[in-house]
Structure 1
């Protein structure tokens, strides 16, 4: 998602791995199947409290931008990536 939301930073997305033992993976699959049947809605809480939830993409983008500018985190950049405007 970082590369999709902020392509200008050239984030080198790592390969997805699953280091958990098979028993944990099986339990996760079981729980995901249970939650897949649930109807998750936030309209009731919004109606009662007036809270407006931010889209997840906005939260991810703001978090990454904050990590870069405030915390000084240096992202791992794709090989051969040249930042726009850098010469």
Structure 2
């Protein structure tokens, strides 16, 4: 069955995204990228479940729409941070320059 390799890829993507999210300390852009890897990993796992169980495929589209909204909001926060502070380093936020 091809269900297990897809779930394995999804689990590995979620683990890699989680490790990158925890280890990212400098740049907000890196945090947003690791969150996108997490989202794609979860989407891969949901896609594997939908295809193997025969559920409605609209579940995948709904989750993908939420992932796109999350990415758009993250990008808008990143742009506003870069316009106001001048960089996307997290250290600038701790000092209260935002």
Q: Which has the higher helix share?
A: 2
State the TM-score bracket (shorter-chain normalisation). under 0.3
RCO comparison, higher one (Cα < 8 Å, 6+): 1
TM-score (norm 2): 0.22
Higher CA-based Rg: 1
TM-score (norm 1): 0.23
